[in-house]
Amino acid sequence: MSELLDLIRERRSLRAPFDPARAVAPEALTAVLEAARWAPTAHNMQNYEIVVVDDPAVLAAIARVDRQISETFVRENYAQLSFSEDELRRKKTGILGTMFPAAWRTPDFRLDQFDDDELASMRRPLPAAPVMLVVVYDPSRRAPASEGDFLGIVSLGCVMENMWLAATSVGLGMHIVSSLSSGDEVKAILGIPERLVVAFSCRLGYPATEPGPYLRVRRDIEDFAHHDRYAG
């Protein structure tokens, strides 16, 4: 159990470039896909497909996809930001604001405040990676009696977590790229049928440089665990 908890604690999102010259070992990739295979899904529907992308030309095409800045994301993300490490430790939730461009650290962000060049400077390029996994699902196949297919979406989260823990266990870095989930460009590049939706994409690889220190916080158990009745 201690080894499992250590693995869970070590798991992190690596947004830095991965070494494009260092291929992902086939056995490591198989371990990640095997973990996805055994993820719990509602009614064992296994309602997902995974496109493994390792062709440099295809990876380059995905990297060129214009990932638009979402005004909604920037505004709602503001509530999750801390502006010092002390504040983040005190709140125990959220992330450091320094992860984002200075213009994103305001509560009233509007796209029309910026010209095209300024917006272009805020768009961060997709970091290099030797492998990308694109996970898709069929939204017309709902888990039985699950409003909004809540159980189906939870199942996709289980697939993600299994993959992430497996990647960590074999020394791979992993980074979820949510900005590729909207739009049809990635689907067109990969020949994904119209009926399927991209749930999430992730970069896999070995970091090009040693990841720097990063403050990670969590609430204490007594902050979220309630016994016999809710005591919030």
* CATH code of the domain in which 24 resides: 3.40.109.10
How far apart, in whole angstroms, are the C-alpha atoms of residue 156 and residue 201? 12
Give yes or no: residues 35 and 9 share one domain.
Answer: yes
How far apart, in whole angstroms, are the C-alpha atoms of residue 59 and residue 68? 18
Give yes or no: residues 118 and 196 share one domain.
Answer: no
Give yes or no: residues 153 and 205 share one domain.
Answer: yes
Give yes or no: residues 160 and 143 share one domain.
Answer: yes
Give yes or no: residues 138 and 63 share one domain.
Answer: yes
Phi, psi of 198 (to 5 degrees): -75, 115
Give yes or no: residues 153 and 62 share one domain.
Answer: yes
DSSP 112: G
CB 147 within 8 A of CB 20: no
Give yes or no: residues 146 and 197 share one domain.
Answer: yes
4-51 pLDDT per residue, tens: 999 999 999 988 889 988 999 999 999 999 999 999 999 999 999 999
Is the pLDDT at 232 greater than 80, yes or no? Answer: no
Give yes or no: residues 99 and 195 share one domain.
Answer: no
> 203 in a domain, yes or no?
yes
Domains contained in the chain, number: 2
> 54 in a domain, yes or no?
yes
pLDDT score at 121: 85
Give yes or no: residues 177 and 130 share one domain.
Answer: yes
* β 173-177/197-205 pair status: antiparallel
> 219 in a domain, yes or no?
no
3-state secondary structure of 176: strand
How far apart, in whole angstroms, are the C-alpha atoms of residue 50 and residue 169? 20
- CA R_g for the chain: 19
The number of angstroms, rounded, from the C-alpha of 124 to the middle of its chain's C-alpha atoms is 15
Give yes or no: residues 28 and 75 share one domain.
Answer: no
Percent of the chain, pLDDT > 90? 81
Give yes or no: residues 113 and 143 share one domain.
Answer: no
143-195 pLDDT per residue, tens: 999 999 999 999 999 999 999 999 999 999 999 998 887 778 999 999 999 99
Give yes or no: residues 140 and 201 share one domain.
Answer: yes
